[in-house]
Structure 1
Amino acid sequence: MTTAKAAALRALHVPGNPLVLPNVWDAASAGAVREAGFPAVATGSAAVARVLGYEDGEDTPVGEMMAAVARIARAVDVPVTADVERGYGLKPTELAERLAATGAVGCNLEDTDPRTGELIDAGAQAEFLAEVRSAAGQDLVINARIDTYARGRTSRQEAVERGRRYLEAGADCVYPIMLGDESEIQALVAEVGGPVNILFRPGTPSPGRLAELGVARISFGGGLHQAVHAYARELFGKVKAGRSPY
């Protein structure tokens, strides 16, 4: 079952017909995404962390994060991919084992050191990804995050080089988070040589346009949870004021 779900998730990464992933934060939101007809479910580390009472950036204890992912995976009948930041300090073999135990068949792995906030050397990150791939085999779809744009380093050459190295190391898709310029997205997709994930946020081209640019995966990060939480705060305010929230 795990192998079949991983293969199904991998096959959904189609340039020009992207996999759209409205990132979820708990079993209820995962169920709602599934009910809406999406073929896969993705967690967002920032959203899950907030729900659990922690900040993003590997502040969440690994056991709590994995338990949350497991609850989400049990709630749906489609492939689940988990945002596990940079692995919470786990060795590649243990990371692969613990992900498998949750029922998730995919993961995001970023190239920022959560302890320092600095970018990890591209070679070291490629080696880490290769070790995760070796440990997991083909039962795990790896989305390798590239944090250069998030760190203010806007060199496409650097992002492309990292992306190519990560793909060669066994990643299935690369994720240049915070890249939103249309021409840069188009150029990177053409140059990197593999599936590309783009984060949808204000100012980013529409999902339809991202498809035209050859993007293979679109995710929403913590944005949907932030919007839902803002709406909940409005409801709570109405209750406090003695008004009907409905």
Structure 2
Amino acid sequence: MTTANASEPDHTEPDHAELNRKGLRLIELHHAPDILQVINVWDVISAKVIADLEGSTALATASHSIAASYGYPDGEKIPRELMLEAVGRIAAATSLPVSADLEAGYGDAGETIRRAIGVGVVGANLEDQLKPFDEAVAAVRAAIKAAEAEGVAFALNARTDVFAKAAPDADPAEQLAEAIKRGRAFLDEGATSIFVPGLFDEATVAALVQGIGHNKISVVGVPGSLDPRTLQNLGVSRISYGPLTQRLALTALQSAAQELLAGGVLPDGIKALN
């Protein structure tokens, strides 16, 4: 008789009470005075490495990174089943609450959220992809209703791509107004926070916070972004880093490999990872 490897994640159905506790904790972290930093992960080992760090209170997956790990491009090209399996393995590997990047919901936001809860996820990003306003609001509504039907507290980080997918000649004032309009509507449907990706200055962040709400805005950290303390002082709730964490890891790997292939040796200080 073979014995399962003790290091493999347990894929039994998550305990409902524990899921609800994690969901409530994740929502609480979004509303706390200190900004919530979630370092994006893409597999079990990256999740364990980040979860073990002091100050790491929750994890977020990056859809782009998970898709890349399986050889798929970003943009819901990876099958939903494979994405859910990946985020489920991550959720099973840590005691921290996990928020999953589920893109636009794979054609059925409600069902995707329901299934994500079933594998242990207690929060999610859901993109509007600049779809028509009513359609975008309906997707958020479906996601929230699915979580309510499961009876689990769920932190929906509803994303608007008003800035991320804007035309080069877009009017910044019109973009800001549309982002605020969508953000308020998503909050009215029950979203915990509004994710507005983009490279913003202080004035734009302040305007988003004023228009949508204090501790209701989620942003992405990219090179040139405002630092976490400044974002916190401006009233931002959450900062994540998307696929850039995976790119950072792969850049380090590529750099080390170049040294090795050129006749170098591995540097001192490499930590053992379980």
Does TM, normalized by the shorter one, top 0.5?
A: yes
Residue 16 of structure 1: CA displacement?
4.7
Query: How many residue pairs align between the two structures?
Result: 239
Q: d(CA) in 2 for partners of 1:227 and 1:91?
A: 30
Partner in structure 2 of residue 2 of structure 1: 19
Residue 15 of structure 1: CA displacement?
6.3
- For the 8 Å contact 2:109–2:140, the answer to whether it is kept is no
Amino acid in the other structure paired with 1:148: V
Residue 240 of structure 1: CA displacement?
2.1
- Answering whether residue 116 of structure 2 is matched by residue 99 of structure 1, we say yes
Runs of 5+ consecutive residues of structure 2 not aligned to the other structure = 1-17, 268-274
Amino acid in the other structure paired with 1:110: E
Amino acid in the other structure paired with 2:200: G
Match of 1:238 among 259, 264, 271: 259
Match of 1:145 among 130, 144, 159: 159
- Answering whether residue 227 of structure 2 is matched by residue 206 of structure 1, we say yes
Q: Deviations over 1:133-174 (max 9, x none)?
A: 111115321000010101224321111001001111111100
Q: Deviations over 1:20-74 (max 9, x none)?
A: 0111111111111111121111001111111111111111111111111011111
Q: d(CA) in 1 for partners of 2:102 and 2:162?
A: 18
Q: d(CA) in 2 for partners of 1:230 and 1:65?
A: 24
Structure 2 counterpart SS, 1:143: strand
Please give the root-mean-square deviation of Cα atoms over the aligned residues, in Å: 1.4
- Answering whether residue 196 of structure 2 is matched by residue 176 of structure 1, we say yes
Runs of 5+ consecutive residues of structure 1 not aligned to the other structure = 113-118
Match of 1:130 among 141, 150, 154: 141
Structure 2 counterpart SS, 1:205: coil
What are the residue-to-residue correspondences of 1:18-167 with 2, within 5 Å? 18-37=35-54, 38-90=56-108, 92=110, 94-112=111-129, 119-137=130-148, 138-152=152-166, 153=170, 154=172, 155-167=175-187
* TM-score, with structure 2 as normaliser: 0.84
Partner in structure 2 of residue 116 of structure 1: none
- For the 8 Å contact 1:201–1:220, the answer to whether it is kept is yes
Partner in structure 1 of residue 240 of structure 2: 219
Q: d(CA) in 2 for partners of 1:91 and 1:148?
A: 19
Q: d(CA) in 2 for partners of 1:98 and 1:222?
A: 23
Structure 2 counterpart SS, 1:17: coil
Q: d(CA) in 1 for partners of 2:213 and 2:70?
A: 37
Partner in structure 2 of residue 11 of structure 1: 28
Structure 1 counterpart SS, 2:40: coil
Residue 132 of structure 1: CA displacement?
1.3
- For the 8 Å contact 2:199–2:224, the answer to whether it is kept is no
Partner in structure 2 of residue 190 of structure 1: 210
Partner in structure 1 of residue 249 of structure 2: 228
Structure 1 counterpart SS, 2:100: strand
Q: d(CA) in 2 for partners of 1:174 and 1:186?
A: 14
Ranges of 4+ aligned residues in structure 1 off by more than 3 Å: none
Larger Rg: 2
Q: d(CA) in 2 for partners of 1:98 and 1:172?
A: 19
Q: d(CA) in 1 for partners of 2:226 and 2:161?
A: 19
- For the 8 Å contact 1:196–1:217, the answer to whether it is kept is yes
Amino acid in the other structure paired with 1:35: D
Amino acid in the other structure paired with 1:123: D
